[in-house]
Structure 1
Amino acid sequence: MLDLTHGGIPIAKSLAAAGNEVTGIDVYGTVEPGALLELEEKYGIRCSKIPFPSAKFDLLVAPVHLDPAYPMLVEARSQGKTVLSHHQIVGEILKSDSRLSGIKTVEVTGVKAKTSTASLLADMLSRRFEVALHTSRGLEYWKAGSSSLIHKGLSITPGSILVAVDKVFESGLMPDFFIFEISIGGTGTADFGILTTLLPDYGIANNTALASEAKLQLVRHAKPEGVLLINSGAEKALEAAKKSQAKVLTFKDPFIIESPQIPDQIADFVLESKCGSASSISKSSTSSELSGSFIRFMHRGKEIFSVSPRPGYNFLAYRTAFVAASAAALELGIGHEAISSVIEKFEGLSGRMQEKVMNGICLIDNSNSGMDILSAEKALEYALLKKKDERKGNIILVLGEEASQVCEGLPPESVQRFVEKFGTKCSQVILVGERMRTISGKNISYAGNLHEGLLKASKFAGGVDIILSSVKCFR
C-alpha cells in the first residue's frame, strides 16, 4: 500500500480487515510515528517510511499522482507486477460491502464545479429520496430538502469514501443514494458517474501525466449497466466513452465558453439564459442585467423549465453545476418542478461566489478548495462589474492559499502574473500563504491565513468598498 497520506490509511485498514497481509509505505514521510505504530499494533499493518523490494508483494496499490519513478513502482513494472490505483482498490472494496446492496451511488469528478454539482444534486434527489452526500464541505445527510452534518474533515481522495460509508451506517442511517465528490477519477462502482469538466488541465505524478487522463478512470471503469453524464466539451472523455457499455449522456458546459465542442455533437442537456445562449453572455453585462436574467433548461431541444435565480450570489459561476445536476436529477427520476424549485431557492454555497456582509462591508466569498487563478480572475471581473453597477468604492483583494497541498496548491508564479496584470484594479492586495511572500507589486501586504487576511482587509475597507476573498483552502 503506497502513500498512507492521501487516503491510504482507510484503504490499508479495509484490506487488512478483509484478511489480507498489508504493508503500508509512508511515501511522503508525513504520517506521525504514533499513527504508524497504531496501524501495526491494532490492525496488523506493517509500516515503513522507506521502500521495500516489490518482489515481496503480490500487488501494489498506488495513487494516480505518485511519481512513476518511485523505486517500488519502477521495480513492479520491471517484474510485471499488478499495480492498482487507489480508485480501483476502493472500487473492489465497495463491491464486497454488503451494506451497499440496494443503494445507488453517484460519483462526481472533474476540475471545476464538483462540489456545487454534487450538493445541488443531493438537494434535488432529497425531494424524493434520502441521500448521503460526501464533498469537500463535509459528510451530510439530505432528506426532504434539508441537510444535517454527519462529519467534517474528510478529504475527497478515494480512500475517504470508505470512511464516509462507515460513518453513515454507524449513524444508523440507510440512504437511498450515496453521492461522492471524488478527486482525479472514479472507482468503477458508481451507478451514475458525472464528469463536470477536464479543463483547465494540469500535470500530476511529477508532471509525467495529465490529470485529465486520470479522471478518465470514471469513464473507462464505468459499470456496463451504469450511466455516464459527460461534459460535451470533454473530447477525451467522449472518445473513451465510445468503448464503454454504459449509457452515455452529454451536457453543454455554458461556463467554459472556450471549450471545444465535438463537431456534429448535439448535447442532450443544455442551459441557456435570458441574454441568449450562455456562450453569448458578454463581459460587458452588468450585475443588474444579470440579476434580471433567468435560466432555461433544455433536454434535446425541448424546454423542461425556466427559472429566475435569487440575488445574493453570482449565478453565472454555477451554470455548469445547474445543468449537470439538473440533467442527473431528471435522469434519476426527479420531476422538473422539484428541480426548478431547488435552483430557484438556491443561494450559493459558502466560498463559491457567495455575497455576504462582513462588519457592514460587502464581501464576495470565493475561497474554497477548488479555487484556482482562473476562478480568481472571474471573481475579480464580477467584483468590478458590481463596483461599476452599484457605484461601490475600492476593491480589496485577499488572494492566495492556506496550504500548498490543497488540490495542487496555487502556483506563486501564476499569482505573480495575476498581480502584474490585475493588481492595479484593486486598492489593496493581501496575499495569503508563505509561498506568496516572494511576490512583489504595488499596495501588497501579506497574511498567514484566510482569517488574518480578512481581518487586514476589513481594516483597509470603508463602508462602500468591496472585499473579494479568493483563497485556496479547505472550508
Structure 2
Amino acid sequence: MDLFRKKLAVLDLTHGGIPIAKKLAALGNDVSGVDVYGTVGPALLGELEENYGIRFSKAPLPLSEFDFLVAPVHMDPAYPMLAEARSEGKTVLSHHEAVGKILQGDPELSVTKIVEITGVKAKTSTASLLADMLSRRFDVVLHTSRGLEAWKEGTPSLIHRGLSITPGSILTAIEKSLEAGIRPDFFIFEISIGGTGTADLGILTTLSPDYGIANNTAFASNAKLQLILNAKPGSTLLLNAGAEKALEAAKGSRTKLLTFNDPFYAESHVKISGTPDFVLETEAGAAKSPATQKLSAAQKPLISERSSASEGSSASGELSVSEESSASEELSILSELSAAPEPSAPPEPSVTPEVSGSVLHFLRRGEKIFSASLRPGYNNSAYRTAFVAASAAALELGIERKSVVSVLEEFRGLSGRMQEKELNGVALVDNSNSGMDILSAEKALEYALLKKKDEKKGGIILVLGEEASQVCEGLPPVSVQGFVENFGTKCRHIILVGERMREIAANNVSYAGSLPEGLLKASELAGTEDIILSSVKCFR
C-alpha cells in the first residue's frame, strides 16, 4: 500500500500519533487526526490544522470518508471506528506499520543501518550497552526511554529529551538527529510493543511476563511479533531462545535468525527451543576496588548543566547526592535523582572492595568467545539478558571482542536499574524506572536483603509505587497490596508513591505524591546504617 494522495485517519494522537500524522500529511495525503482520549490541547490541535492541514476531531469520524485507518496496537478494538472497519473489512495499519512505510522511502536513511529492540524486559539496558559497543567503531544515535543520545567512541552526548518509545517517536528522533547535523552509521531504537519492519537487525529481549493490551482483548506478546512478521527480507533477527511464540513466528521468514539463551529463562525452567547460538554463563568473581579501576570517558562524572526551559533540566552527568545540603537543596537534589537520566553514567558509587563482582563467559555455538570480569556496585544479575543480547548483536555487527569485553567490564549499571548509590550518606539501591513491575520490586527487595545481611546493615526503607498510572500500564494497586502483605515485615518502613496507592493499608506505611518526595521522606527516616530501596514506576 502506497502512502500518497490517500484519505486517512490517524487514531490516538496521545501515544505517538501526532508525528505520524505530520509525516503522512507531508507525503501528500489527506489526513485527519482523532484525539481518542481527549488529552491534546487546543493550541496543538490548531497548529496541526494551520501548519500541516491536518483536520482533527475528538469524536469518532464516519469511516466512509477514509481509504484506511492508522491506529496503535494497544487501542481498544471496541472503539467505533475500529469496530466499523473490522466489520466492513477496511484496512487498519498499526502505528508500527505506518512508521515502517514512511521510513522505507526516506533517502536520508539510505546509508544508515537501523537496530530495533522490543520486548518486556531489558530493552533499555540492551540498547544502551549495544550503543556503547557499536560506538567504539561507528557513529551511533540511540533512542531509548532515557533520551535521544549521540554516541561516539564510548562517549554519549544528549540530543533531545522527552520522547516516548512509541513507534511515532522514531520519526521525531530521526528528525531531531538530522536537525543537529548528525547522520550516524547506526540508529538504535528502543520501541514498545513491536517493530516497524525497517530494521537491519531486530532484537527481541523477552516476551515474558506477558500482559493484556487493547482493553485486555489481546496479549502484548502477539503485538511484539510485529518485529518478526514485518521484518524485511535479508535482515537479521536476534531472538530470545525462550520466546517459543517468537521462534514459531520466525519459521519461514526470509531473515537470518539468531538466538540467545536468556539466563533468567534458564533459571526459571522455561523450555529453550533448540540450541541457542549465543549463551552466557556466569560465576562469582573476585571484586575489584573502585579506586583501582579505569573508567571510560563515558563513565567519568561530569558537571551538570542546564538547558533551555523548553527542554527542562538537562545535564551531562548526575549530581552527587552525598554532600551536605539544606532541606530545600536536598529536595532539589532528589528531584534531579528522579528525573530523566543523563546520557553519561552516574558518579562512582560508594562500594567497598569486599563487594563481589562476577565473571561472564560468552559462548557462540558452543565455542567460548570471551570472558569478562564485571565491576561491583550494581546488581549485575539484573542485566544478564542485556549482557548476552547486546554482546551477540555487537559481534554480529562487526565489533571486535576486545571492545565488547571493555564495555562489559567498564559498565556500572544504568540509573534506576538496580544500581547502588549513596543518598546523604545512606546506601541507596535505585530500581525506579518505566519498566519496573511488582516482580522487579520483589527482586530488588531480595537484593537489598542480601546486601543488608552481607554488609551488616540496619533496616530497609522501601519507596514503592508509581508516579503516573499511565506509565506502561502503571503499577496495579492490588499487586502492591499483595506485596505489602507478603513482604512488608521485611522492611522497617514503606513509603508508597502515587495517588492510587493511598487505598493500601498497612502498619508500617506512609504516602508520598512523587518519587522526589518519597526519597526525601526516606532520607529523613533512614539512619546511616540503613538501606533505602527505590522501586517506583516512572519515566526516567
What TM-score do you get using the length of structure 2 for normalisation?
0.85
Q: How does 1:337-356 map to 2 (within 5 A)?
A: 337-356=402-421
Q: Where do 5+ consecutive residues of structure 2 fail to align? A: 1-9, 286-351
Deviation by residue 1:280-310 (Cα, 9 ceiling, x = unmatched): xxxxxxx999824311111111111111111
Match of 2:462 among 380, 397, 403: 397
Partner Cα distance (1:42, 1:464) in 2 = 58
Please show how residues 30-41 of structure 1 align to structure 2 within 5 Å: 30-41=39-50
Amino acid at match of 1:221: N
Find the partner of 1:317 among 382, 392, 410: 382
Q: Equivalents in 1 of 2:213, 2:189: separation in Å?
A: 22
* Cα pair distance change 1:293/1:220, threshold 3 Å: same
Q: Do the aligned residues in 1 keep the contact of 2:355 with 2:377 (CA within 8 Å)?
A: no
Aligned twin of 1:61: 70
Cα deviations across residues 128-168 of structure 1 (Å, max 9, x unaligned)?
00000000000000000100000000000000000000000
1:79 matched to 2:88:
yes
C-alpha distance in structure 1 between counterparts of 2:272 and 2:253, whole Å: 18
Conserved in 2, the CA contact under 8 Å of 1:126 and 1:144?
A: yes
* Structure 2 residue 442 is the aligned partner of structure 1 residue 383: no
Question: 2-side partners of 1:21 and 1:112: how far apart?
Answer: 38
Q: CA deviation at 1:94?
A: 0.6
Corresponding residue for 1:447? Answer: 512
* 2:128 alignment partner in structure 1: 119
Q: Which amino acid in the other structure matches residue 129 of structure 2?
A: L
Please state how far the C-alpha of 1:78 moved relative to its aligned partner: 1.7
Instruction: Report the secondary structure of 2:15's partner residue.
Output: coil
Matches of 1:255 and 1:77, distance apart in 2: 39
Instruction: State the identity as a percent.
Output: 73
Superposition misfits of 4+ residues, deviation over 4 angstroms:
287-290
Contact kept, 8 Å, 2:284 with 2:356, in 1: the verdict is: no
Partners of 2:248 and 2:462 in 1: how far apart?
Answer: 41
How far did residue 260 of structure 1 move?
1.8
Q: Contact between 2:284 and 2:357, CA under 8 Å: does it hold in 1? A: no
Counterpart in the other structure of 2:329:
none
Instruction: Map 1:45-444; keep pairs closer than 5 Å.
Output: 45-256=54-265, 257-258=267-268, 260-263=270-273, 265-274=274-283, 291-444=356-509
Counterparts of 2:424 and 2:284, CA distance in 1: 35
3-state SS of paired residue (2:30): coil
In structure 2, how many angstroms separate the alpha carbons of the residues matched to 1:292 and 1:126?
25
- Unaligned segments of structure 1, at least 5 residues: 277-286
C-alpha offsets along residues 300-335 of structure 1, whole Å, 9 cap, x if unaligned?
111111111111111110000000000000000001
Local SS of the residue matching 1:124 = helix
- 1:279 aligned residue: none
Equivalents in 1 of 2:219, 2:368: separation in Å?
37
SS at match of 2:463: strand
One-letter code of the match for 2:491?
Answer: C
Structure 1 distance, partners of 2:56, 2:27, is: 18
Q: Is the 8 A contact 1:424 1:442 kept in 2?
A: no
C-alpha change, 1:67 and 1:152, in structure 2 (3 Å) is same
Q: 1:259 Cα shift?
A: 5.5
8 Å contact kept, 1:55–1:79: no
Whether the 8 Å contact between 1:396 and 1:467 is mirrored in structure 2 is yes
Post-superposition offset of 1:255: 2.3
Assess, with a 3 A threshold, how the Cα gap between structure 1 residues 56 and 356 changes in structure 2: closer, same or farther: same
Equivalent position amino acid for 2:395 in 1:
L
What SS is found at the alignment partner of 2:143?
strand
Hey, what's the Cα distance between the residues in 1 that align with 2:405 and 2:443? 26
